[in-house]
């Protein structure tokens, strides 16, 4: 019944909005969000995201303008995140709309329910990054292409090209979608997929946009791609399927996800049976010219199932086999999530149709099922809304309160400083920084903020000696992995912990202090625990060899008993 569907859809939109607004207001900024805000701020000032180092911030190029629009009203983290909140709620609505057009209204409603409380949708729907924008434009691109194939209307091919360009300039990962679309079009319509009225111009626009996107990257970020590709490749013949499945496996195999995966399998079985009934083998040349007639004769819902599952599988397969290990994260398959939820919803409604009798009960029952399926994600959604991230924003707020003229700030995350109160004074890091620096005026500087690179112990000593106060802002992971022992020794001897919370520590030195090299007896306070790591670092103090490690172990033992495993 129409009223029931509208009521449930309204509830889903309200719940989805509440979850994303709560995340945007209560959860600290993920470290990459500072870079997004900084790029948007530079866009407001210069009309393009031009960094102080002279390079362009090309990640999420279109998102920089969307963020700038909101930040022009008020420069706050919530305003920056509001873009994703709005687009994420719009995505719930568009999943319903696309599901209604490709399948039927019931499938659209159930798929929208999945999107409402899926943890990844809440996270990226509440963060100031470009992944939600990418997901929305990819979904609309796939839908426009499907409709263009179905109707051969010139206007729909133009719409497809426009949406693809918007997705491409939201994030270059969109390129992976294009071959999958071409194969789907050739299988259904044959050569007509690229030769129908309007199709050649649309594909020429898409290919031209891909070339333009590549040139923007090469011109705006000189040397960036080559450096990353050499050190931790974006793409290559990786073939580490086991490692990739270990990363992405929970998306398919966690308790709630198993149910969704089984529903996709049910939808595929139903579509496969329908395809088998109409299948007629053709010579390969005729199939290439005309496509597969069976695809045109099966029910639209089954054809849409094959289309969405193919798009998910084709792009995910490329990521699985060819994307480098350091780029395996859930956010890189986030754009594909609607192509998994839609066939899952189709499988659920197919099962319900075999159980329910009468159209009225089918409609009302599916409306209720949509609410129940949204509830499947409720425990995970609650955990997501209660799970804080590293407290860079808290540490930066502390520095902003304490900072005086003449003080200097060192950090391995200079965009965080830049977005908060202007660039930090130094990009302080010793390992794995090569892709983030560029040479300007004879020195190496951070690409995003222009902060000079500080990567030697002598530079650190000089800065502490020549400034009244030196702040060092760092997270536990980088402190443990990005610095040499002599660098850490200077930090231990010259700096004190002035702030530590949620995995972030701020160290401060009030000028240079002489340290006695004679054996001394000193009583140390327990090491500071931030994010499971301790300061001073265990085993780094020559005056008390092994002592700090033993204290850290004792402190960790106490923590385990206090908080559980």
Q: Are 369 and 361 in contact (CB under 8 A)?
A: no
Q: Which domain holds residue 89?
A: 76-375
Q: Is residue 526 part of a domain?
A: yes
Q: Does residue 108 share a domain with residue 208?
A: yes
> Phi first, then psi: what are they for 462, rounded to 5°?
-60, -45
363 shares a domain with 439 = no
- pLDDT mean over 521-537: 59
Mean pLDDT across 377-381: 93
Euclidean distance between CA atoms 400 and 394, whole angstroms: 10
Q: Are 322 and 263 within one domain?
A: yes
Let me know if residue 56 belongs to a domain.
Answer: no
Picking from 375, 410, 439, the residue at the C-terminal end of a domain is: 375
Say what the pLDDT of residue 546 is: 40
Q: Are residues 449 and 343 in the same domain?
A: no
192 and 322, same domain (yes or no): yes
CA distance 549 to 561: 19
Residues 6+ apart with CB under 8 A from 553: 538
Q: Looking at the structure, do residues 356 and 272 belong to the same domain, yes or no?
A: yes
Mean pLDDT of 4-15: 90
My answer on whether 414 and 457 are in the same domain is yes
pLDDT-based confidence at 358, cuts 50/70/90?
A: low
**Residue 533: predicted pLDDT:** 58
Question: Which of these three, 342, 375, 408, is where a domain ends?
Answer: 375
Query: Token pair for residue 224?
Result: 């960036």
More confident residue, 530 or 545: 530
The confidence score (pLDDT) of residue 297 equals: 81
Q: Is the residue at 547 inside a domain?
A: yes
Q: Answer yes or no: is 57 within a domain.
A: no
Rounded CA-CA distance 22/387 in Å is 12
Instruction: Concatenate the DSSP letters of all residues of 361-416 into one string.
Output: HHHHHHHHHHHHHHHHTHHHHHHHHH-----HHHHHHHHHHH--TT-EEEES-HHH
Chain-centroid distance of CA 516 in Å reads 49
Of 245, 226, 236, 241, which is closest to residue 323 (Cα–Cα)? 236
Domains contained in the chain, number: 2
Q: Is residue 455 part of a domain?
A: yes
Task: Check residue 118 and report its DSSP letter.
Answer: -
- Is 523's pLDDT higher than 70? no
Q: What percent of the chain has pLDDT over 90?
A: 69
Residues 312 and 356 in one domain: yes
Query: How far is the C-alpha of 218 from the C-alpha of 214, rounded, in Å?
Result: 6
Please list, residue by residue across 41-76, b when 16 or more beta carbons sit within 10 angstroms of its beta carbon and e when fewer do. bbbbeeeebbbbbebbbbbbbbbbbbbbebbeeeee
- Residue 62, domain member (yes or no): no
pLDDT at 321: 84
Q: What is the pLDDT of residue 561?
A: 30
Q: What is the pLDDT of residue 202?
A: 97
Is the pLDDT at 256 greater than 50? The verdict is: yes
**What angle is formed at CA 93 by the lines to CA 88 and CA 98, rounded to 5 degrees?**
115
Is residue 224 located within the same domain as residue 356? yes
Q: Is residue 473 situated within a structural domain?
A: yes
Looking at 375, 401, 433, the residue that finishes a domain is: 375
What does the alpha-carbon distance between residue 131 and residue 124 come to, in Å, rounded to a whole number? 6
Element at 440 (helix H, strand E): strand 437-440
Q: What's the pTM value of the predicted model, to 2 decimals?
A: 0.89
Residue 6 lies in a domain: no
Given a cut of 70, is residue 534 above it in pLDDT? no
* pLDDT at residue 519 in the model: 56
**396, 353: one domain:** no
- The yes-or-no verdict on residue 559 having pLDDT over 80 is no
User: How many whole angstroms separate alpha carbon 347 and alpha carbon 265?
Assistant: 8
Largest Cα span, the chain: 90
Q: What is the pLDDT of residue 517?
A: 66
Alpha-carbon torsion, ordered 180, 186, 192, 197, to 10 deg? -10
- Tell me what pLDDT residue 170 has: 96
Identify whether the C-beta of residue 36 lies closer than 8 Å to the C-beta of residue 128. yes
Rounded CA-CA distance 412/424 in Å is 10
226 and 111 in one domain? yes
| pLDDT exceeds 90 at position 35 | yes
Q: Residue 553: what pLDDT? A: 37
pLDDT computed for residue 260 by the predictor: 94
State the Cα–Cα distance between residues 294 and 278, nearest whole angstrom.
5
The continuous run of DSSP H or E covering 180 comes out as helix 177-189
Gap between the Cα atoms of 542 and 492, Å rounded: 10
- Average pLDDT of the residues in 216-234: 83
Can you read off the two tokens belonging to residue 448? 């995003």
Residues 285 and 181 in one domain: yes
Whole-number mean pLDDT of the chain?
88
Alpha helices, DSSP H only, in 72-176?
A: 77-102, 105-117, 119-125, 131-151, 154-168
**How far separated are the first and last CA of the chain, in Å rounded?**
49
Using pLDDT thresholds of 50, 70 and 90, give the confidence band for residue 290.
confident
Q: Please say if the pLDDT value at position 93 is more than 70.
A: yes
C-alpha span between 344 and 45 (Å, rounded) = 45
Stretch 310-333: mean pLDDT = 88
Close Cβ partners of 389 (under 8 Å, ≥ 6 residues apart): 27, 28, 29, 30, 502
């Amino acid at each position: 019944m129409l009223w029931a569907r509208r009521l449930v859809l309204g509830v889903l939109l309200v719940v989805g909005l509440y979850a994303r607004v709560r995340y945007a207001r209560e959860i600290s900024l993920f470290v990459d969000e500072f870079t997004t805000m900084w790029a948007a701020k530079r866009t407001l000032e210069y009309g393009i995201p031009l960094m102080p180092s002279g390079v362009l911030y090309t990640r999420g190029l279109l998102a920089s303008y969307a963020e700038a629009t909101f930040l022009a009203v008020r420069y706050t983290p919530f305003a920056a995140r509001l873009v994703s909140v709005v687009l994420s709620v719009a995505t719930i609505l568009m999943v319903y709309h696309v599901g209604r057009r490709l399948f039927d209204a019931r499938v659209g409603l159930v798929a929208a329910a999945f999107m409402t409380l899926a943890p990844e949708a809440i996270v990226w729907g509440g963060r100031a990054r470009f992944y939600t924008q990418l997901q929305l434009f990819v979904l609309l691109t796939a839908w426009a292409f499907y409709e263009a194939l179905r109707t051969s209307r010139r206007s729909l091919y133009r719409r497809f090209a426009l949406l693809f360009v918007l997705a491409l300039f939201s994030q270059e990962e969109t390129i992976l979608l294009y071959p999958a679309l071409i194969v789907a079009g050739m299988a259904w319509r044959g050569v007509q997929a690229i030769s129908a009225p309007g199709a050649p111009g649309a594909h020429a626009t898409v290919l031209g946009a891909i070339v333009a996107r590549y040139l923007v990257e090469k011109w705006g970020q000189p040397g960036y791609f080559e450096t990353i590709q050499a050190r931790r490749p974006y793409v290559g013949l990786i073939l580490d399927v086991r490692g990739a499945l270990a990363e992405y496996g929970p998306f398919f195999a966690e308790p709630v996800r198993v149910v969704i995966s089984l529903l996709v399998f049910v939808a595929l079985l139903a579509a496969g049976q329908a395809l088998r009934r109409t299948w007629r083998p053709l010579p390969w040349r005729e199939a290439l010219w005309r496509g597969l007639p069976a695809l045109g004769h099966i029910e639209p819902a089954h054809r849409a199932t094959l289309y969405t599952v193919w798009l998910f599988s084709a792009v995910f397969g490329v990521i699985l086999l060819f994307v480098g290990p350091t780029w395996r994260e859930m956010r890189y398959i986030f754009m594909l999530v609607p192509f998994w939820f839609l066939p899952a919803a189709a499988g659920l409604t197919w099962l319900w149709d075999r159980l329910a009798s009468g159209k009225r009960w089918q409609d009302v029952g599916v409306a209720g099922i949509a609410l129940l399926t949204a509830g499947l994600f409720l425990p995970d959604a609650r955990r997501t809304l209660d799970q804080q991230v590293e407290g860079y924003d808290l540490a930066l707020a502390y520095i902003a309160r304490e900072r005086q003229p003449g003080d200097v700030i060192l950090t391995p995350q200079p965009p965080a400083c830049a977005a908060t109160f202007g660039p930090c004074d130094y990009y302080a890091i010793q390992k794995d920084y090569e892709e983030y620096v560029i040479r300007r005026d004879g020195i190496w500087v951070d690409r995003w903020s222009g902060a000079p690179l500080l990567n030697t112990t002598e530079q650190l000593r000089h800065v502490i000696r020549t400034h009244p106060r030196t702040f060092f802002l760092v997270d536990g992971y980088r402190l443990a992995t990005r610095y040499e022992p002599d660098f850490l020794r200077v930090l231990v001897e010259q700096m004190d912990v002035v702030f530590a919370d949620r995995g972030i520590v701020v160290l401060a030195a009030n000028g240079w202090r002489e340290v006695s090299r004679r054996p001394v007896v000193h009583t140390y306070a327990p090491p500071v625990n931030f994010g499971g790591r301790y300061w001073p670092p265990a085993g780094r103090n020559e005056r008390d060899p092994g002592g700090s490690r033993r204290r850290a172990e004792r402190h960790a033992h106490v923590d385990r008993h206090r908080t559980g495993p």
